[in-house]
C-alpha cells in the first residue's frame, strides 16, 4: 500500500499533523519503529536531506528508538550526502541512546556507534529528570528491571569511556552511582579499571564510594575500597549527606560499623565520631548499634 501510494505521487516530504505536532512520513516511520524495508522504500522515493539533518536528525531519531539496522542505513546516507553534519552528529549521538528504568542500553547499538567513531563520553543533559543525565557510562551503571548490563559497561570501558567523570550537584561518579544502585559486580569492575575511590560526591544527597558501600552494608566491597586507600572520614555531601560510619549506624549495620572503626584507628576525635554515629543509630531505632558504640567509647 505504501509503495502504491508513492508510485501514485504521494509526497514523503509532506507534513503529517497530529496534536499540534508535525512530521513527514519519513520522520513518522522512524519515530514509530517501522521496518528497514519501509524506511528504504521511503528513501527510494526521495525524502529531502532536510529529513536527515533537521531539528532532530534522522540519525538521532533512529538511535533513540533503538533500530540498529536503520541507524546503519542512515549513517551511510549522511556520511555520503551531508558529511559535515554527520561528523558533528558523531560528537553527540551517544547521548541519544535512550535509557529508562526498565531497559539498559542495547549492546549492539552501543558497539555500532563506537565502531562509527562516536564520542563515547558525550553528555546527556537535556531531560528534566537528572536520573538520565551524564555520560553513557554514568547512565549505564544503574539498576534496570531487565537486569544489569555489565557487558555494555565492559564495552564502554574497553573503548575509552571516562571512568572518573566528576560528580555534579545531583549526579555522582560512575563508581558512586553503581554502589548506590547496589550493583556490586559492576562496582568491582570499575575498581579494576582504576576508578577513583576518593572522588568527591554529588552535592545533593551524594556519597563517596565508601559512604555508599557503608549505607548498604557491603563489607566486602568496603574492605576493598579501604585497601585501595578510601578515606574512612571523608566529609559528607553538603546536602543530606552522611559520613560512612554514620550511614552504617543509621542503617543498623553493626559489622560495617566495626569495620569502619578499625579503619579509624586511634584518631583523637574517635569519641566524637562514636557519639555522633550512636545518635544516628538511635534516631532509626537501632539500639543495639547505639549501645555498642557507646560501649566502645568506654573501652577506648
Domain 1-90 sits in which CATH superfamily? Ankyrin repeat-containing domain (1.25.40.20)
Question: 17 in helix, strand or coil?
Answer: strand
Q: Cα separation of 84 and 187, whole Å? A: 39
Which runs of consecutive H residues, i.e. helices, occur in 25-106? 25-31, 36-44, 50-53, 58-65, 68-81, 83-90
pTM of the model: 0.83
- Cβ partners under 8 Å of residue 230, min gap 6: 197, 198, 208, 209, 210, 222
Q: Note the pLDDT of residue 123.
A: 86
At 56, the pLDDT band (50, 70, 90 cuts) reads low
| Closest CA relative to residue 176, chosen from 212, 146, 223 | 212
Where residue 122 falls among pLDDT bands split at 50, 70, 90? very high
- From CA 61, how far away is CA 77, in angstroms rounded? 15
Percent of the chain with pLDDT over 90: 52
Q: Give CA angle at 211 (208, 216), nearest 5°.
A: 130
Taking the C-alpha atoms of residue 178 and residue 142, their distance in angstroms, rounded to an integer, is 6
> Is 10's pLDDT higher than 70?
no
What pLDDT digit, counting tens, does each position of 75-87 carry? 887 888 778 888 8
Question: 239: closest CA among 182, 183, 170, 285?
Answer: 170
Amino acid at each position: 500500500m505504501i509503495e502504491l501510494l508513492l508510485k501514485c505521487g504521494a509526497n514523503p516530504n509532506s507534513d503529517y499533523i497530529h496534536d499540534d505536532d508535525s512530521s513527514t512520513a519519513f520522520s513518522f516511520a522512524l519515530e514509530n519503529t517501522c521496518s528497514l524495508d519501509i524506511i528504504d522504500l521511503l528513501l527510494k522515493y526521495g525524502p529531502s536531506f532536510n529529513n536527515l539533518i533537521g531539528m532532530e536528525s534522522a540519525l538521532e531519531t533512529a538511535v533513540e528508538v533503538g533500530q540498529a539496522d536503520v541507524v546503519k542505513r542512515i549513517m551511510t546516507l549522511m556520511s555520503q550526502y551531508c558529511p559535515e553534519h554527520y561528523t558533528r552528529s558523531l560528537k553527540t549521538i551517544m547521548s541519544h541512546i535512550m535509557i529508562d528504568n526498565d531497559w539498559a542500553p542495547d549492546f549492539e547499538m552501543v558497539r555500532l556507534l563506537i565502531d562509527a567513531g562516536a564520542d563515547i563520553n558525550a553528555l546527556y543533559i537535556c531531560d528534566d529528570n537528572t536520573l538520565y543525565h551524564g555520560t553513557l557510562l554514568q547512565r549505564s551503571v544503574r539498576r534496570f528491571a531487565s537486569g544489569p548490563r555489565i557487558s555494555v559497561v565492559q564495552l564502554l570501558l574497553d573503548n575509552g569511556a571516562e571512568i572518573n567523570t566528576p560528580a555534579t550537584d545531583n549526579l555522582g561518579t560512575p563508581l558512586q552511582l553503581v554502589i548506590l544502585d547496589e550493583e556490586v559486580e559492576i562496582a568491582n569492575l570499575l575498581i579494576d579499571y582504576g576508578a577513583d575511590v576518593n572522588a568527591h560526591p554529588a552535592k545533593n544527597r551524594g556519597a563517596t564510594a565508601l559512604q555508599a558501600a557503608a549505607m548498604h552494608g557491603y563489607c566486602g566491597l568496603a574492605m576493598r575500597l579501604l585497601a585501595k586507600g578510601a578515606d574512612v572520614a571523608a566529609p559528607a555531601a553538603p546536602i543530606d549527606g552522611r559520613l560512612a560510619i554514620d550511614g552504617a549506624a543509621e542503617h543498623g549495620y553493626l559489622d560495617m560499623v566495626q569495620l569502619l572503626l578499625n579503619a579509624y584507628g586511634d584518631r583523637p576525635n574517635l569519641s566524637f565520631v562514636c557519639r555522633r554515629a550512636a545518635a544516628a543509630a538511635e534516631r532509626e531505632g537501632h539500639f543495639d548499634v547505639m549501645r555498642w558504640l557507646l560501649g566502645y567509647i568506654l573501652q577506648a
